[in-house]
Chain A
C-alpha cells in the first residue's frame, strides 16, 4: 500500500542554519506530494506541494523537489528562523482525496 516515511525528530537547529527534513514514499504510479506544517496549538496548514516528477514546490523560503527516481520529497530551507519551529508532515495523495501522512518531524529553532 501507500506509505510515507520521514526522518525522525526532534530536530533542533540554531537560527540561520540550513534545514533538511527527509521524506520518502512508497506508492504505485505518480502520487501528488505535500508538506504540511502544524504550529503550536493549531491545525495543519499546507506549506507546499508538487504534483508530478521533477516539480519543485516552494513557499515561505521552503522548497521540496519531487524525485521519482529516489521516491523522495525532502524539505529544505536555507536559513531557518525561530518562527519556523513547528511540526512538519510529509504526505501523499493518490487517486481519491485521501491523504497518507508520515509520522511528523518536530523542529525547534533556537535564537
Chain B
C-alpha cells in the first residue's frame, strides 16, 4: 500500500522558533510537494521538488525553505515561525508523467499552531 507519512499530526511552536516538518514517501516517487491548507483558500503550493537536491518555488514560498537530500524525504523549514503560518501543512508525492500515474498521494497533514 502506498504511503506518505508526516512526522507530526499536531505541532505547537512559539513565534520566532525554527520549525522542521518532515515528509517521507515509500513509493520511489521523483516529485514531492508541500502545500498549506486554509479554510476558504483550498490548498496552496509552497515548494516542490522533482529530484534529489532540486527544488522550485510554488505560489507562496515566502517565509519557507525546503530540503531534499534523499529521494524519499522532503523537509519544509520555517526559519522564523510567525502567527500567520498557523495552518494545516500537507505533503504529497507523485511519479513522473509517462509512468502511468498522474496522481498525487497525500500524507495525513500536520496542523501547526504558532503562538
Chain A residues in contact with chain B, CB under 8 A? 4, 6, 32, 36, 41-46, 49, 51, 89, 93, 96-99, 101-104
Contacts known (A98-B48, A103-B40); A46 close to B103, Cβ less than 8 A: yes
Chain B residues in contact with chain A, CB under 8 A? 4, 31, 33, 35, 40-45, 48, 50, 58, 90, 92, 94, 96-97, 102-104, 106-109
Contact A103 B102 (CB under 8 A): no
Contact B40 A43 (CB under 8 A): no
5 tightest A-B CB contacts, nearest first = A43-B106, A103-B42, A101-B42, A101-B43, A44-B106
Whole-angstrom distance between the alpha carbons of A101 and B45 in the complex?
Answer: 9
Contact B104 A99 (CB under 8 A): yes
Contacts known (A49-B102, A97-B94); A41 close to B108, Cβ less than 8 A: yes
Is the contact region of chain A dominated by helix, strand, or loop, or is it mixed? strand
Known: A93-B102, A101-B43. 8 other contacts (CB 8 A): A42-B108, A43-B4, A43-B92, A44-B43, A44-B104, A46-B104, A97-B31, A103-B42
B44 to chain A: closest CB distance in Å?
8
Contact A44 B90 (CB under 8 A): yes
Whole-angstrom distance between the alpha carbons of A58 and B103 in the complex?
Answer: 15
Choose among A51, A97, A103 the residue that contacts B41 (Cβ–Cβ < 8 A).
A103
